[in-house]
Amino acid sequence: MSQAILTISPEVKAALNNRQGVVALESTIITHGMPYPENRDTALGVEQAVRDSGAIPATIAIIDGQIMVGLDEQQLETLATSSNAMKLSRADLAMALARKAMGSTTVAATMIIAHLAGIKVFATGGIGGVHQGAELSFDISADLQELGRTPVSVICAGAKAILDIPKTLEVLETLGVPVLAYGQDEVPAFWSRSSGLAAPLRADTVAQIVDFMQARESLQLDGGVLITNPVPAEAEIPQAEMQTYIAQAIKESQAAGISGKAVTPWLLGRIVEITEGRSLVTNQALIVNNARLAGELAVSLSGTATN
């Protein structure tokens, strides 16, 4: 039975048994996405936002080789202060178990574990995608393939604007992943509400998302759904402004020879420095906003056959 390898917290277990809404949360944003103590405070704030909408948060990470679904405050603190946590995607997840290591889960690995646990809704900040210059580096996040195969709905604030968003959307389309924008026609671009790119699909209410997911279920379609939720207006950094910071960070990363798994964390960290912390505040606001929407969706779904 698939849940046997999971350590599910009592609270999450009770919520799953009672068919209460549960929202999965990733942990790479804690270990590789933000500095301490903002990472811990954000993780706690995100959990609270899920609770505020009536659902139960399940932050996912690997501690001593155990797959934890739902962390207590002490475990969150351990993760937030660790300097050696492995960044785990589909390819490396099993090695963290075999080595009894500590590891944080990316969007891809969080989807795999959420699915094993029977959790349908997952909130994050931004997904990985096709990196700028991918035609030379071949750097395309495993998050995209995972969305193509694992049936979990991921709520994010758009593809991170450090990526090539048009190419990311093309790959998602190829993989058959529906991309919905929530309440607007454009795909949001993480720190910015606007990307200049039309969203393939749009939903304006949680009820519309639920109807859409039920229709997918009746078609027996595999794979995930990506719901892109624009950052609240008061917290956004406009796209034109953001673009100069991103261009500078990418140029510096190339000059420094950063590659592979290190690229996303390096760029995010550098952009926090370049914006003197402003991008971090935006990042916190958008993930809390996503957690709220995910909570509402999980609660609505828990009352349907799709649950």
Known catalytic residues? 26, 160
> Quick one: 106 or 302, whose CB is closer to ligand PSU?
106
Residues that bind ligand PSU (CB under 6 A): 26, 28-29, 32-33, 89, 106-107, 125-128, 141-143, 160, 261, 264-265, 268, 283
| Least Å from the CB of residue 60 to ligand PSU | 11
Residues that bind Mn ion (CB under 5 A): 139
> Quick one: 134 or 235, whose CB is closer to Mn ion?
134
| Least Å from the CB of residue 238 to ligand PSU | 18
| Least Å from the CB of residue 264 to ligand PSU | 4
φ, ψ of residue 98 in degrees (nearest 5): -60, -35
Tokens of 168: 């990311």
* Residue 32 contacts which entry, ligand PSU, Mn ion, none (Cβ below 5-8 A, type-dependent): ligand PSU
| Least Å from the CB of residue 113 to ligand PSU | 13
Rounded CA separation 300/307 (Å):
9
Structural contact between residues 195 and 239, judged by C-beta atoms closer than 8 angstroms = yes
Tokens of 158: 């758009």
Q: Please name the residue that has the structure tokens 């969203």.
A: 199
> Quick one: 22 or 268, whose CB is closer to ligand PSU?
268
Structural contact between residues 11 and 55, judged by C-beta atoms closer than 8 angstroms = no
> Quick one: 132 or 264, whose CB is closer to ligand PSU?
264
> Quick one: 156 or 197, whose CB is closer to ligand PSU?
156
| Least Å from the CB of residue 30 to ligand PSU | 8
